[in-house]
Amino acid sequence: MRGYIFILLCLGTTVHAATLTATLKPGTIKQGDSAILTVRCEGYELATVDPERTPSGMGFSFRGREKQLTSLDGADKVSVTFTYLVTTSKSGGYVVPAFTAKLPNGDLLRSEPLTFMVLDRDGDAVAGRQPNGFIKVQIDQSKVFLGQSFSVTMELFVLRLLPSDLPVPQLTTPGFRFTRKRPEFFRTVRLENGTRYDVFVFKTGAVATKVGKRNIVFETAVTVRDSNNLFGKRKQIQVTSNPIAMEVVPLPAEGRPANFSGAVGSNLLFKVKAGSTAVNTGDPVNLSLEISGRGALDQTTVPGSDQWEGFKLYPAKSNIKFLGTRHLYAFKNFERIIVPLRPDITEVPKIEFVYFDIGTKKYVTRTAGPFPLRVTGPAIQTGIGDPPKLPNTQLEPDQKAGKMEPLRRAPGVLEPAPSPLLTRPWFLVAQATPLLAWLLLLSWRRRQIYLEKHPAVARRIRVQKLTRKTMRTLRQSNTQADPDAFHANVQIILREHLGMAMNRPAEGIGREILEDEALPLSGENLAALERLHERNQLARFAHVQEPVNAPLNFKDLDRVILALQ
Amino acid sequence: MKRFLLIPMFASALYGSDELSNFSNGNDAFEAGNFSGAITNYQAQLETGLTSPALHFNLAHASYEAGQLGRSIFHYRRTLTLAPRDGDAQQNLGRVRDEVHNGTPPKAGFWRRLTGYFTINEWTLAAVTLLTIWWFWLAAINWRPQWRKRGAVVRPIIGTAAVILAAVAILSLRLETNQPWAVVVEKEVSVRYGPVGASPEQFKWFDGAELRVRDTHTANGVEWILAQDPPGRQGWLPAKAVLRPNR
């Protein structure tokens, strides 16, 4: 037992004396090279150390762990050294975050963050030059309470920034958050060590969210041109601020009311308005609660209990309006619907809002109400015949913001991933149908209009069509077996062609055309026409029953048609 | 005969229960805090070839809880490809991107934002509906010219809208097929000058980096991709370090 106590005492002593120190060599490297980071723990044999955060654009590559034992004045002292290679993706200023390790007694060892510079790949050429960018930060306080907001002014100094790309410097140290993620800024030009920088001044605020001493660091990646040439190559550089020491102290436990929910501010005001003074049981009453003043009110929850005797309470809806560019002052309004369930209720109970006042360093309780309320009607049993669901019963918007939406309970329709319709041949073919219909009808319509304007062409087409059709009939053996029908069809063709050639209607043309002076036929062609008419006369009117000599008729007909064309 | 009728019903019931078991097993594992188990179950469901926005959503959520931010971004993006107006997926994706990019995620390009409100097929159907109406209408007025005056104001509006929608549908398809994307799913990956392991390292990409794939190459059985990030940095990295949507 004594031995056990001795070991515990020894362990306590060794642990108590332990320290964590980080060193980085060299302090300036070229992009693509690595710096060697050593984290040394003296006084305790640590198994691992971890960086406080994972910085963007920076990688740690573990190279080894070395244990050393030294004897000093007869006492053994242990130390462990962890070695890492630090590489970065971009040139610029960087901050290696603090490394931490937890001891068995619960103490947290923490090294200091380290700054270093990464030059371009042509580092030799630019080593003497001013850095392309850096951040200067002004913070109005170095010691704050947990949950307290404070003002932050960030000045981003940068050379040849591409105007379309202006990132907001980010607060990368855990334990702090901005009051506004996209703060307002103005642009100016300043001379710094003989170099003219474009300076972007961001005015915002921050809130302490974790207790402890920390070095607060701001950083961002900016895209710049690598030369003054308008067409210079784009490159990204990392810019950082120097670490600023901040201490966040916990809120005092002494005097803390049980209903304190974490609000911290200065001279906060609290007002409540009840929407009605006389209602029936089951009717909703709107309560409007307003908190205003200096403080980080965005995460303040609705004041008052969630259970009121004789009332049904619905979740509150909130909205917040900020005053000033830094969002350090705000009006936060909660709309809450309460439903009285019993007629013996005579008032809306008083509501308390507790906050920690930064100025007086004490907890302050503000109260509103009670508000008189006359309730009539029968009592409503909770659980049986609850008042109907009211609108606006969702979560508060700022409770919802930043939360991950929960899982889906049902998988929905499970089906193969749809391929784009535009890549499916059947779909494209189907789409061609209305297009083709339009193109066909368009060309048909155009043809109609043309033929209306050119009647001669229309007649020629009609005659050619009729000729083709009649010729097909003439070549049929049953037509050739009937001389009457055969010659009647030959006459149809002749009439149409003679009418077209002489620009007359075809209907009135007969044998007398042979005497017409305008007939554009002569010699053998005229004789062929006369023969055709003669055979027609003999067959149709003299009823001479001779078989049709089709080849002879076709020969004469072809000659006449060719001559007329 | 009745027995024969029962066979397909029974088979479909079994098939349906298998479908749901992977999904509900995933949900059960998630609720029990076993996020890697949830991922395995959801992945098993994906490997059946049947998918849905809810499945990708849950897989993304489980990946986020398991600290696999790149995988989470990939599956939220897949959710939004299938259901682009899913507000929950948009919110969660924004949250994960905030975490990856430290509160300043890169903005999507103008054309992606324009086309991203509907799926490619929704754009396509909207365009072909209007185009079909417009073409049939034009065909009708050629067939019956006396109908030309009816709807003379509406017709060119429909035509213009149809042409614009068709252009957006084609643009949307080109963005998806000509600019394939990928998300880094390894803690960090070295980006090299060439598609071989011996090539010098240019820089590193970290879990959750969203990339545009420009080219692919296979060397010694290892597939490499040439990718570019939003600021324009470009380099080769092994294909196994990223997740890409199936072509």
pLDDT tens for residues A517-543? Answer: 777 777 888 888 888 888 888 877 777
Kindly identify which residue of chain B lies nearest to residue A411, measuring between CA atoms: B54
Contact B223, B182 (CB under 8 A): no
B-chain CB neighbours of A404 within 8 Å are 61, 64, 92, 95
Kindly identify which residue of chain B lies nearest to residue A422, measuring between CA atoms: B124
Whole-angstrom distance, CA of residue A369 vs CA of residue A482? 119
Whole-angstrom distance, CA of residue A551 vs CA of residue A256? 127
What ranges in B52-208 are assigned the alpha helix state H?
53-65, 69-82, 87-100, 110-115, 120-143, 154-178
pLDDT at residue A254, rounded to an integer: 85
Instruction: Write down which residue in A400, A422, A443 finishes a domain.
Output: A400
Whole-angstrom distance, CA of residue A17 vs CA of residue A45? 12
Nearest partner of A66 among A82, A86, A77, A42, judged by Cα: A82
The enclosing domain of A139 has a CATH number of: 2.60.120
Q: Residues A271, A394: one domain?
A: yes
Contact A179, A206 (CB under 8 A): yes
Residue A271 parent element (H or E): strand A264-274
Q: Is A262 left (phi over 0), alpha (psi -120 to 50) or beta?
A: left
Q: Residues A379, A284: one domain?
A: yes
pLDDT at residue A230, rounded to an integer: 58
Q: Residues B6, B95: one domain?
A: yes
CA atoms within 13 A on the CB side of A180: 24
Q: Residues B56, B80: one domain?
A: yes
Q: Does residue A421 belong to any structural domain of this protein?
A: no
Q: Is the peptide bond before A370 cis (omega within 30 degrees of 0)?
A: yes
pLDDT at residue A129, rounded to an integer: 55
The mean pLDDT of A156-171, rounded to a whole number, is: 75
Q: Does residue B207 belong to any structural domain of this protein?
A: yes
How deeply is A308 buried, as exposed, middle or buried, from its count of CB atoms within 10 A (0-12, 13-18, 19+)? middle
Beta-bridged to residue B35, according to DSSP, are none
Whole-angstrom distance, CA of residue A332 vs CA of residue B17? 50
Q: Residues A460, A374: one domain?
A: no
Q: Is A518 on the interface with B (CB under 8 A)?
A: no
Whole-angstrom distance, CA of residue A153 vs CA of residue A496? 100
CB contact under 8 A, A416 and B58: no
Q: Residues A44, A153: one domain?
A: no
Q: Does residue A419 belong to any structural domain of this protein?
A: no
pLDDT at residue A399, rounded to an integer: 43
- Between positions 188 and 217 of B, the ones with CB within 8 A of A are 188, 200-206
Nearest partner of B91 among B104, B76, B81, judged by Cα: B76
- Number of domains into which chain A is organized: 4
Output the furthest CA–CA distance in chain A (Å, rounded): 157
Q: Does residue A430 belong to any structural domain of this protein?
A: no
How many CB atoms are closer than 10 A to CB A59? Answer: 19
CB contact under 8 A, A411 and B170: no
The CA-CA-CA angle for residues B146, B150, B154, to 5°, reads: 145
Whole-angstrom distance, CA of residue A76 vs CA of residue A306? 60
Scored b (16 or more CB within 10 A) or e, A258-286 reads eebeebbbbebebebebebeebebbebbe
Whole-angstrom distance, CA of residue B142 vs CA of residue A491? 38
DSSP string of A216-263, one letter each residue: E-EEEEEEEESSSSTTPPEEEEEEEBPPEEEEEEPPPSTT--TT--S-
Phi, psi (rounded to 5 degrees) for A165 = -125, 95
Residue A433 parent element (H or E): helix A425-453
Nearest-neighbour CA in chain B from A480: distance (Å): 42
Whole-angstrom distance, CA of residue A371 vs CA of residue A376? 16
Find the CB nearest A434 among B53, B103, B132: B132
**pLDDT confidence band for A388 (50 / 70 / 90):** very low
- Which of A94, A204, A421, A429 has the highest number of chain B CBs within 10 A, making it the mutation to test binding with B? A421
Nearest partner of A533 among A507, A561, A513, judged by Cα: A513
The CA-CA-CA angle for residues A91, A93, A95, to 5°, reads: 125
How many separate helices (H) and strands (E) can be counted in chain B?
A: 8, 8
Rg (CA), chain B: 23
Q: Residues A376, A335: one domain?
A: yes
Q: Residues A344, A293: one domain?
A: yes
Q: Residues B95, B7: one domain?
A: yes
Tokens 């994706």 sit on residue: B93
Q: Residues B165, B200: one domain?
A: no
Joined tokens for residue A66: 């070395």
| C-alpha separations of A105 from A8, A165, A212, B112 in Å | 10, 48, 18, 54
Whole-angstrom distance, CA of residue A442 vs CA of residue A446? 6
Q: Residues A393, A272: one domain?
A: yes
Tens of pLDDT, residues A57-77: 677 767 778 888 887 777 778
Beta-bridged to residue A279, according to DSSP, are A375
Whole-angstrom distance, CA of residue A182 vs CA of residue A167? 9
Q: Does residue A407 belong to any structural domain of this protein?
A: no
CB contact under 8 A, A438 and B88: no
Q: Is B138 on the interface with A (CB under 8 A)?
A: yes
**Cα dihedral B159, B160, B162, B164 in deg (nearest 10):** 160
Residue A211 DSSP one-character state = -
Amino acid making up residue A565: Q
How deeply is A403 buried, as exposed, middle or buried, from its count of CB atoms within 10 A (0-12, 13-18, 19+)? exposed
CB contact under 8 A, A438 and B139: yes
Q: Residues B163, B195: one domain?
A: no
Rg (CA), chain A: 50
pLDDT above 70 as % of chain A: 86
Joined tokens for residue B68: 């696999």
Tens of pLDDT, residues A491-511: 889 888 888 888 888 887 877
Q: Does residue B130 belong to any structural domain of this protein?
A: yes
B-chain CB neighbours of A444 within 8 Å are 142-143
The enclosing domain of B192 has a CATH number of: 2.30.30.40
Joined tokens for residue A470: 């009649």
Query: Could you tell me how many CB contacts below 8 A there are between chain A and chain B?
Result: 127
Tens of pLDDT, residues A184-236: 788 888 888 788 888 888 888 888 888 777 778 887 777 777 665 556 677 77
Q: Residues B8, B92: one domain?
A: yes
Q: Does residue A349 belong to any structural domain of this protein?
A: yes
Nearest partner of A469 among A453, A489, A485, A440, judged by Cα: A489
Kindly identify which residue of chain B lies nearest to residue A428, measuring between CA atoms: B128
Instruction: Write down which residue in B52, B79, B105 finishes a domain.
Output: B105
pLDDT above 90 as % of chain A: 5
B-chain CB neighbours of A84 within 8 Å are none
Whole-angstrom distance, CA of residue A152 vs CA of residue A327? 11
**Between β-strands A50-51 and A99-102, what pairing exists: parallel, antiparallel or unpaired?**
antiparallel
Q: Residues A274, A386: one domain?
A: yes
**pLDDT confidence band for A308 (50 / 70 / 90):** confident
Q: Is A432 left (phi over 0), alpha (psi -120 to 50) or beta?
A: alpha
Tokens 């630090």 sit on residue: A86
Q: Is B33 on the interface with A (CB under 8 A)?
A: no
Is the ipTM here above 0.90? no
pLDDT at residue A36, rounded to an integer: 84
Q: Residues A331, A269: one domain?
A: yes
The enclosing domain of B35 has a CATH number of: 1.25.40.10
Residue A168 has pLDDT above 60, yes or no: yes
| C-alpha separations of A267 from A274, A293, A328, A330, B165 in Å | 23, 6, 13, 12, 57
DSSP string of A155-193, one letter each residue: EEEESSB-TT--PPPEE-STTEEES-SS--EEEEEEEET
Residue A486 parent element (H or E): helix A483-502
Whole-angstrom distance, CA of residue B207 vs CA of residue B69? 6
Q: Is B32 on the interface with A (CB under 8 A)?
A: no
CA atoms within 13 A on the CB side of A256: 11
Write out the residue range of the structural domain in which residue A318 sits: 264-400
B-chain CB neighbours of A414 within 8 Å are 19, 45, 50-52, 55
Nearest-neighbour CA in chain B from A40: distance (Å): 25
B-chain CB neighbours of A90 within 8 Å are 203
Q: Residues A106, A141: one domain?
A: no
Instruction: Write down which residue in B178, B200, B217 finishes a domain.
Output: B178
How many separate helices (H) and strands (E) can be counted in chain A?
A: 9, 33
Residue A125 has pLDDT above 60, yes or no: no
CB contact under 8 A, A405 and B88: yes
Within 8 A by CB and 6+ apart from B101, the residues are: A56, B208
Measured between its terminal Cα atoms, the distance across chain A in Å is 135
Q: Is A422 on the interface with B (CB under 8 A)?
A: yes
Q: Residues B126, B191: one domain?
A: no
Beta-bridged to residue A371, according to DSSP, are A348
Q: Is A324 on the interface with B (CB under 8 A)?
A: no
CA atoms within 13 A on the CB side of A68: 10
CB contact under 8 A, A411 and B55: yes
Q: Residues B95, B22: one domain?
A: yes
Instruction: Write down which residue in B105, B133, B148 finishes a domain.
Output: B105
pLDDT at residue A293, rounded to an integer: 87
pLDDT at residue A458, rounded to an integer: 92
- Number of domains into which chain B is organized: 3
CA atoms within 13 A on the CB side of A208: 26
Phi, psi (rounded to 5 degrees) for A227 = -155, 175
Residue A401 has pLDDT above 70, yes or no: no
Residue A52 DSSP one-character state = S
CB contact under 8 A, B54 and A412: yes
Q: Residues B36, B131: one domain?
A: no
Q: Residues A11, A85: one domain?
A: yes
Joined tokens for residue A437: 């219909």
Nearest partner of B216 among B236, B186, B240, judged by Cα: B236
Q: Does residue B110 belong to any structural domain of this protein?
A: no
Q: Does residue A308 belong to any structural domain of this protein?
A: yes
Q: Does residue B164 belong to any structural domain of this protein?
A: yes
Write out the residue range of the structural domain in which residue B20 sits: 2-105
pLDDT at residue A552, rounded to an integer: 86
Amino acid making up residue B187: K
Q: Does residue A119 belong to any structural domain of this protein?
A: no
B-chain CB neighbours of A434 within 8 Å are 131-132, 135-136, 139
Amino acid making up residue A124: D
The CA-CA-CA angle for residues A422, A428, A432, to 5°, reads: 140
Residue-level pLDDT, tens digit, chain B, 247 residues: 444 444 434 444 444 455 568 888 999 888 888 888 999 999 999 888 888 999 999 999 999 988 899 999 999 999 999 999 998 899 899 888 887 876 566 777 788 888 888 889 999 999 999 999 999 999 999 888 888 888 888 999 999 999 999 999 999 888 888 778 999 999 889 999 889 888 888 888 889 999 989 999 998 888 999 998 877 788 999 999 999 987 5
Nearest-neighbour CA in chain A from B95: distance (Å): 7
Contact A433, B136 (CB under 8 A): no
Within 8 A by CB and 6+ apart from B160, the residues are: none
CB contact under 8 A, A441 and B142: yes
Whole-angstrom distance, CA of residue A493 vs CA of residue B197? 88
Q: Does residue A199 belong to any structural domain of this protein?
A: yes
B-chain CB neighbours of A411 within 8 Å are 19-20, 23, 45, 52, 54-55
Find the CB nearest A172 among B49, B102, B121: B102
CB contact under 8 A, B121 and A412: no
Nearest-neighbour CA in chain A from B1: distance (Å): 31
Q: Residues B48, B99: one domain?
A: yes
Q: Does residue B237 belong to any structural domain of this protein?
A: yes
Tokens 């490394």 sit on residue: A99
Average pLDDT, chain A: 79
